[in-house]
Amino acid sequence: MSYKKIYEALKEYEPKRLVGFSYKNKHGCCAVGVLASRPEELPPLSVSALFYANQPLILEIMQKFGCTIQELNELQDYNDEGDHARPEERYLNVLKFLERKIAEEKP
């Protein structure tokens, strides 16, 4: 997985905040929603369920960022883990998670 590509996409995202348990709502997007070209069209299901239903937007994310469904699911789980975090904190926590993953990718 190219965690670096995902990290760069999230760094460019405005506002610098992420929501939990929703790909997109009036407060913004979750980490996976940021990666989707039309996050408002993603039904409220896990990325795994959407993958197995051949949801085109999830398949598009996987192709664009070169990730597996397991890796995308891990990103979604980490995003949703901090259900009591403020959106700004969630954003920073997800960036730190991706920074660790990038460091692990280096040989």
The answer to whether 5 touches 66, Cβ cutoff 8 Å, is yes
pLDDT at 1 over 90: no
Task: Give me the pLDDT at residue 107, please.
Answer: 67
Tell me the pLDDT tens digit for each residue of 36-94.
999 999 999 999 999 999 999 999 999 999 999 999 999 999 999 866 789 999 999 99
Q: How far apart (Å, rounded) are the C-alpha atoms in residues 100 and 41?
A: 30
Give pTM, 2 decimals.
0.93
Task: Give me the pLDDT at residue 75, please.
Answer: 95
Tell me the pLDDT tens digit for each residue of 15-51.
999 999 999 999 999 999 999 999 999 999 999 999 9
Q: How far apart (Å, rounded) are the C-alpha atoms in residues 10 and 31?
A: 7
pLDDT at 9 over 90: yes
Q: Which domain holds residue 54?
A: 3-105
Domain count, the chain: 1
Please tell me whether residue 29 adopts helix, strand or coil conformation. Answer: strand
In sequence order, the β-bridge partners of residue 25 are 28
> In which residue are the tokens 């999830």 written?
58
